[in-house]
Amino acid sequence: MTGRRRRHYRVTGVVQGVGYRPFVYVTATRLGLSGSVSNDSAGVDVEVEGTEVAVRELGRLLVAAAPPLAVVDAVAATDLTPVGGTGFAIVESTGTQSSGVRTLAGPDVATCADCLAELRDPTDRRYRHPFISCTSCGPRFSIIRDLPYDRPATTMADFAMCAGCAGEYADPADRRFHAQPIACHECGPVLTLVRPGHEPVHREDALSVARAMLATGRILAVKGIGGYHLACDARDEQSVAELRRRKRRGDKPFAVMVVDLAAARGLVRADETEAALLTGPRRPVVLLARLPGSTAASVAASVAPRNPDLGVLLAYTPLHVLLLEPGPDVAGPDCLVMTSGNLGGEPIAYLDDDAEVRLAPLVDGWLRHDRPIHVPVDDSVSRVVDGREAPVRRSRGYAPLPVALPASLPVTVPPTLAVGADLKNTCALGQGGYAWLSQHVGDMDDLATLEAFEKSATHLERLTGVRPRQLVADAHPGYRSTGWARRHAAGRPVRQVLHHHAHVAAVMAEHGLDGREQVIGICFDGTGYGADGAVWGGEVLIGDYKGFRRFAHLAYVPLPGGDATVHRPYRMALAHLAAAGIAWEPDLAPVTACPPGELSVLRHQLASGFGAVPTSSMGRLFDAVASLAGVRHVVDYEAEAAIELEGLARGVAPDGPYAFELDGADPITANAAPVVGAVVDDRRQGVPVPVVAARFHAAVADLVRSLASRAGEASALHTVVLGGGVFANALLLSTARGLMEHDGLRVLTAEQVPCNDGGIALGQLLIGAMG
């Protein structure tokens, strides 16, 4: 065996469900190597024999030429004694696990260009096949029951391959070589349309009838990769308004789906970075500025009323494409509302029987198929600010991809489950160098969401092999997520961490900070339990993963009535007026908006302090200013008032911004009373509302800059972390970041996980590990 080398390569990372074994097969064969490649639940094993040059070149290519969807974390090489042999094989997966942590399962991926070409080719055997896929695209996370990722461990297990598909699956030269979701018209899932009072119709007939229904204003439940959507013609005002009424949606925006980038650019402005996000394999809903004029008005007004942006996503499954493109005989809409198949606050429907019952009051029919969904996955939502992605909801296309933890942490992260917050919940598992964030679960308002949370956590444990030895939860004593952690601790420690500390830690973690140096953390949001029992939300913290000190905060004002004030911004406006010593005169918009009886009760609450918890929330200040400006007095969804205020401020010169009053106390208090007074004066003098909105945004950005500067002078720190849901405001984020970077500060923002509560589990995880 002189001159020959035999070597075992152990490959870990996102290497299952991404065509990695076929890639190894083709590469090893091209290099003239013999041996085999296989999966187990912890990664991919490659054993090769050949010339030393070829063996070494394969080791290089395992990383350098990996498939586009693969993320190679590490390649470990072990030399073995040569034994001879010819040929290279993909061998059956062992299912065994050689280490505590399993391989990294891949996310669901949008249909690739090659599959789309076949879908549209009348000569191809998969022409108009609604479930076309290959090793580069299609369902992954939503169909995986267990690892290793082979067909028997997915919901495709019951679909026996026909001879044609089996041949492609076994052919190393075919791009469907070992593509687990492979199927065709003959052997794959079947499309079915179910309508009350009608016999079900199937396949192409189901598609034709569904398109006709959508074209005539009907509302359908459409089963996708990760659950059901509610769909209707986005250009039909009556249909969209009816969907809004049935779903009890209020004014919360709907997302719209179009077939390609050209169609999207007929509705919104999308620069190259935004276009890349829209068309990439993850395919989130992207929040984009509407086109001015009549072109954008062709989308029904009820799609996103009074919203400056439109949420747009491109078709990401073959079924979506077939619904949106002209069919052989039936015309249909070219722009669809696509919203989660549920009522507000409920988990998305993904099981057929449940969807048929739960969605019955909402739809006129169900377009579904018989490929089961194992893991429900909502659409992700994102946007681009200053050329950088700013996630709003991290779910389909992203989950369960891990976030790499800082490599130089002073401790090794033990197996840990962080349960997140009660709004926009996600959980996170961590061990060693990775944190795995779940898909979006939702608001922990009812039993169904708690059950969905538990299933998500359990499945994530199964896929990762992480068995938590500790749990981390929010310090809020009334959070349902925290209660769940206590009930399921089973003797394991439960560490509770403060909400805003976790927000700051999440951004630190995604940027690879190891915590050896402290940061200036500026955290603005709506609600979070504070160390003193107050409702925090306008915080400047100096600290690291182990702890913090409160350097500054927005001055406390009473929060009268808790949730009632969150839903009725006029109440917060009245509280700020009282705190500023401004009389409730009838010419003020929030005074007029408040019913007389409620006004009397509020006056008593604020005078006595009964039922009024102090708050430093910046989110509630945005609500108050929106009401004072006459923009929005009652909201249907979180941050609605702030979103409308931001929309009015965009593109408007502030022309003399307002100013907060800062004292010299420890912690520093930023008093909003001068800002509130200036807003009142401006409105009484007839200053246009957009100018008021722009001046307020400029004042908050200046406040961020001033507090960062003072904190830097006091601590000799130069890194500022921005966290909390208020920084989902693109205008504020861009302005504040620009001001601080001009001052020479390093500014870190959320780019991998949301700045809102959807990313807070990552911060909890790091604080828990360092505690």
Strand-strand pairing, 661-662 and 668-671: antiparallel
End-to-end distance of the chain based on CA atoms, in angstroms? Answer: 55
Coil, strand or helix at 673: helix
Strand-strand pairing, 519-529 and 719-723: parallel
- Cα 77 to its chain centre, rounded Å, is 36
Report how far residue 531's alpha carbon sits from residue 618's, in angstroms, rounded to the nearest whole number: 17
Helix (H) or strand (E) holding 553: strand 548-554
Q: With a cut of 50, which residues of the chain have pLDDT below it?
A: 1, 97-99, 294-296
Residues 6+ apart with CB under 8 A from 154: 143, 144, 145, 180, 181, 374
Q: Tokens representing 688? A: 């246009």
Residues 6+ apart with CB under 8 A from 111: 119, 132, 133, 137, 138, 315, 316, 317, 318, 321
Q: How distant, in Å, are the alpha carbons of 137, 504, 521, 633, 662 from that of 738?
A: 38, 19, 17, 31, 22
pLDDT of residue 329: 67
The alpha carbon dihedral of 171, 16, 141, 113 has a sign of: negative
Q: How many C-beta atoms lie closer than 10 Å to residue 215's C-beta?
A: 15
Residue 312 CA neighbour count, 13 Å, CB half: 31
Query: Which amino acid, 754?
Result: P
pLDDT of residue 173: 80
Residues 26-41 have pLDDT tens digits of 899 889 899 999 888 7
Q: How distant, in Å, are the alpha carbons of 382, 517, 548 from that of 543?
A: 28, 8, 4
Give the dihedral of Cα atoms 761, 763, 769, 770; nearest 10 deg.
-160
Q: Are 500 and 541 in contact (CB under 8 A)?
A: yes
pLDDT of residue 135: 87
* Closest by CA position to 325, among listed 310, 314, 312, 339: 314
Q: Tokens representing 569? A: 């911004």
Report how far residue 767's alpha carbon sits from residue 170's, in angstroms, rounded to the nearest whole number: 48
Helix (H) or strand (E) holding 5: strand 4-14
Q: Locate all alpha helices (DSSP H) within 123-236, ordered by sequence.
A: 163-170, 203-215
Q: How distant, in Å, are the alpha carbons of 271, 323, 708 from that of 657?
A: 30, 49, 18
Report how far residue 131's alpha carbon sits from residue 129's, in angstroms, rounded to the nearest whole number: 6
Report how far residue 387's alpha carbon sits from residue 277's, in angstroms, rounded to the nearest whole number: 11
Give the dihedral of Cα atoms 77, 80, 85, 88; nearest 10 deg.
-20
Count of residues for the chain? Answer: 771
Q: Are 17 and 154 in contact (CB under 8 A)?
A: no
Give the dihedral of Cα atoms 133, 139, 140, 145; nearest 10 deg.
-120
Write the DSSP assignment of 555-571 as a string of letters.
PPEEEETTHHHHH-HHH
Coil, strand or helix at 545: coil
312 - beta bridge partners? 256, 286
Strand-strand pairing, 309-314 and 285-289: antiparallel
Report how far residue 722's alpha carbon sits from residue 383's, in angstroms, rounded to the nearest whole number: 16
Cα angle 241-242-243, degrees, rounded to a multiple of 5: 90
pLDDT of residue 93: 67
Q: How distant, in Å, are the alpha carbons of 25, 209, 222, 742 from that of 337?
A: 43, 18, 11, 41
Burial class (CB in 10 A: 0-12, 13-18, 19+), 685: exposed
Q: Locate all alpha helices (DSSP H) within 179-331, ordered by sequence.
A: 203-215, 237-247, 261-264, 272-279, 294-297, 318-324
Residues 6+ apart with CB under 8 A from 746: 718, 719, 720
DSSP assignment, residue 142?
Answer: G
pLDDT of residue 99: 47
Q: Are 365 and 221 in contact (CB under 8 A)?
A: yes
Burial class (CB in 10 A: 0-12, 13-18, 19+), 624: buried
Longest dimension (CA), the chain: 97
Cα angle 744-736-283, degrees, rounded to a multiple of 5: 110
Report how far residue 571's alpha carbon sits from residue 263's, in angstroms, rounded to the nearest whole number: 42
pLDDT of residue 345: 73
DSSP assignment, residue 303?
Answer: G
**At 283, phi and psi to the nearest 5?**
50, 60
